Amino acid sequence: MNKHSPYPNAAAPAVHTAGKPKLRVLGTAISLLEELRLKAQADLGIDVVFDNNDFVVTQHKAAQEPDSYDIYDQCFHNLDIVWYWRAVQPIEIERIALWDEINDLTKTGQIGPSARMGQGDVPARKLFVQPNLALGDMPTSRISMLPTTHNFDSFAYRSDVVDGVQSVASWSALLNERWAGRCALVDEPAIGIFDAALAAQAAGLMSFGNIGNMTVAEIDQLMDILEARRKAGFFRSFWRTAEDAARLMIDGDTDIQSMWSTGIGILNSKGLPVEQAAPVEGYRAWHGGLCLSRSLSGRMLDIAYDYLNWWISGWPGAVVARQGYYISTPQRSRSHMTAAEWDYWYEGLPAREDLPGPDGVIRIKRGSVRSGGSYWQRANGIAVWNTTMDEHNYLVRRWMQLVGRAEKDI
């Protein structure tokens, strides 16, 4: 342990010269927050540059331009293509100071003995680098991605227009004709398809052999359902960023839609009565993490490991908690949160006071309760993980056709 480190039990930062090293981080708005960038610079004594894009652009750049970044900050379901192209290199567990404190959600896929693992790209099945460089769940000394931010998503609704919580207690609500012309889905095939699939299955419109790995016939059937809804004017929009999602509700265009926690935070800060659903079928989960570019070596590789260790050291996890996200080392972050913040975000208890978002703006009003209960309750209710399926390329083509036609309609 480095006694002088700004983050407990983490590796010592690299020695710096007058010209500070520059660490380039490629990712999305989920975790590339300015508050984190500035704090990382101050704690590590380096310059940190964020390259912030949507999911599709980020994944493409990660796979095709590995020399353009040092850290790939994305999700486990976006890992296959960059790993296939060897754009990133294995992470040595012995260089991750707090590895033993990372919880079991990514190590085994479950928190608690009775938890359901969920279908799809369970992070545990892609975590460990096997001797033949394949990814799997058999523990080894190397991992593909350092587990960091994660969440359990569903859809959001305007609580002032729904007919009670029970009417939105199932994914089927997302395709309820009650919301014709007032519904939106996220435009990211490996995410939006599962919102739609969970809704179609819950509504009894179709069923799946394995919802996390659909066949071509199942994709066709689901897309036919969505196409029929599109032609009938059911979908108001397909969005790509949390800001776009929030804007739809701010502008009064939608009453129910795919929504991420950051979007709900924007809406809450503006006083809109919006809630996240807690579907009885379970959540669509995702898990983010950090990868090392294959181009890293020597001093820059040391600096990159410093950044990885910093991310799970406590303070960053408290920041993402104020976004509504969780961190893989929650107990480390607890000491960087107020008791009221911990109780609301992790324990699922009513907010004892107004709570701020990462930017300091009040996001949660006193008395509010997070839907779905505590972290551990939510983690034990996963229906499916965001996934890049075997038929992903086919899905993407069908999805792009759907969204392209929908944009012309709008």
Q: State the chain's maximal CA–CA distance in angstroms.
A: 64
Task: Please name the residue that has the structure tokens 């809450």.
Answer: 268
Same fold for the pair 22-144+285-312 and 152-282+381-409: yes
pLDDT surpasses 90 at 99:
yes
pLDDT surpasses 50 at 4:
no
410: confidence class by pLDDT, cuts 50, 70, 90: low
CATH architecture of 152-282+381-409: 3-Layer(aba) Sandwich (3.40)
pLDDT digits (tens, 9 = 90+) for 277-287: 999 999 999 99
| Domain layout of the chain by residue ranges | 22-144+285-312, 152-282+381-409
Please count the other Cβ atoms lying within 10 Å of the Cβ belonging to residue 394. 15
* DSSP 8-state class, residue 362: E
150: closest CA among 349, 303, 317, 359?
A: 317
pTM higher than 0.85, yes or no?
yes
pLDDT digits (tens, 9 = 90+) for 108-144: 887 776 667 789 999 999 999 999 999 999 999 999 9
Please count the other Cβ atoms lying within 10 Å of the Cβ belonging to residue 132. 6
- Cα dihedral 299, 301, 307, 313 sign: negative
pLDDT at 268: 85
22-144+285-312, which class in CATH?
A: alpha beta
- The answer for residues whose C-beta is within 8 angstroms of residue 304's C-beta and 6 or more apart is 23, 70, 71, 292, 293, 296
Q: Compute CA distances 140 → 91, 92, 196, whole Å.
A: 11, 10, 36
Single-letter amino acid, residue 145:
M
CA distance 117 to 105: 9
15: confidence class by pLDDT, cuts 50, 70, 90: very low
